[in-house]
Amino acid sequence: MQWLTFTLRLESDFGGPVRGDSLFGQLCWMLRLCDGEAALTRALEGYTAGDPFLIVSDACPEKFAPKPEIPAPPIEAGKIKDPSEWIRRKAWEARAWLPSTALKRPLIDALCHDGLEHPAKADIILQPHNTIDRMTGTTGSGAFAPYQTIRLSVHGQIVEVHCLHDPGRLSADRLRYLMDFTGRSGYGRDASLGLGKFSIIACEERPREAEAGAVVALAPCRPARGEVDAGKSFWRPFTRFGRHGGAAFGAVFKTPALMADRGALFFLSRPNAKSFIGVGLGSAGRVSRLIPQTVLQAYAPVLPVNLDGWHGCPA
């Protein structure tokens, strides 16, 4: 699998955060629209058997990575006398992102030292909507009651999306075209209203990572059986309540799927240099009753984590 990092400029507000599994699904639909259903079917061969053709991460702020979901090392009674240590630990628990360079050093450095940058936060906007009753010429109750939806004000922000792809089934140039097509069409909710637009600033190939025993996931995922040491790993649960886009009518909602959220820290059963973790969900209508061949990305790109010295802060 080849690793490509897309640097994107967000050109509008978004209906929600960019999630890897949702963006993967939209890229699949773009492939179907551009090359036909047969091309998508060929690309998905082996997807649920551990042989994905494409894996997509969540959108990460530029030069940032998810903070591994690992609690701070336990404190022995009477060992901490400096109040600033408690402040650093509180800040660690509240942090969602770390500079990418922090993952290349022992993670304990990020906990025990101040001065790490924070990415820009998205402002939440409440967008009012009205539906006019043509009988009265105004709003009313029930289906005609005014309501609000949430929008993320992120116009102008720069993010990174990490993609792993099989060059034999999806070339880098074709992936870039599909990503650009998605950015011009709009990602996610209310794309038809102008939300979810982005443009590609750069696309760079990332070298293969060294062998690691612990990794952090860059998207929601579900590890394969025996792939990780569950007793040592840490993650927050994430339930995907998926739905089909504009290509489906009727029962558009998919079967809910429980996964580990972005930032999950997994201890691998056997240290290796794999660039991803997880499985592909689907087959025989398990994900969608409307379109039985639907699949769900439960794979995630991963980055190695250095946990040297984590069980005790340096003096």
What pLDDT score was predicted for residue 312? 45
Task: Tell me the β-bridge partners of 153.
Answer: 123
CB environment 240-262: b (16+ within 10 A), e (fewer): bebebeeeeeeeeebeebebbbb
> In 3D, which of 162, 163, 95, 158 has the Cα closest to residue 122?
158
Indicate if 18 and 92 belong to the same structural domain.
no
Is 249 inside a domain boundary?
Answer: yes
CB environment 116-151: b (16+ within 10 A), e (fewer): beebeebeeeeeeeeeeeeeeeeeeeeeeeeeeeeb
Q: What is the DSSP letter of 253?
A: B
Q: How many residues does the chain have?
A: 315
Q: How many separate domains does the chain show?
A: 2
**The last residue of a domain, from among 143, 178, 207:** 207
Tell me the angle at which helices 172-185 and 20-35 cross, rounded to the nearest 10 degrees. Answer: 100
Indicate if 19 and 80 belong to the same structural domain.
no
Indicate if 168 and 313 belong to the same structural domain.
no
> In 3D, which of 272, 281, 278, 270 has the Cα closest to residue 304?
272
What pLDDT score was predicted for residue 248? 56
Is 92 inside a domain boundary?
Answer: yes
Which residues have CB under 8 Å from 220's CB, separation 6+?
Answer: 19, 20, 21, 58, 238, 240, 259, 260, 261, 262, 298, 300
**Tokens standing for 30?**
């773009």
- Phi-psi map region of 188: left, alpha, beta (phi>0 left; psi -120 to 50 alpha): left
Which residues have CB under 8 Å from 7's CB, separation 6+?
Answer: 62, 158, 159, 160, 200, 201, 202, 203, 204
User: Looking at this protein, which amino acid is placed at residue 13?
Assistant: D
Is 121 inside a domain boundary?
Answer: no
What pLDDT score was predicted for residue 315? 34
Indicate if 226 and 84 belong to the same structural domain.
yes
- Structural domain boundaries enclosing 314: 69-116+209-315
Indicate if 162 and 298 belong to the same structural domain.
no
What pTM does this model have? 0.90
Indicate if 43 and 94 belong to the same structural domain.
no
Indicate if 81 and 50 belong to the same structural domain.
no
Is 12 inside a domain boundary?
Answer: yes
276 near 308, Cβ under 8 Å?
no
What pLDDT score was predicted for residue 111? 83
Q: Which residues of the chain have pLDDT under 50?
A: 312-315
Indicate if 162 and 275 belong to the same structural domain.
no
What whole-number distance in Å separates Cα of residue 119 and Cα of residue 117? 7
What pLDDT score was predicted for residue 121? 85
What pLDDT score was predicted for residue 313? 37
**Could you tell me the CATH number of the domain that includes residue 21?**
3.30.70.1890
240 near 257, Cβ under 8 Å?
yes
Q: 54: how many CB neighbours lie within 10 A of its CB?
A: 22
What whole-number distance in Å separates Cα of residue 250 and Cα of residue 288? 12
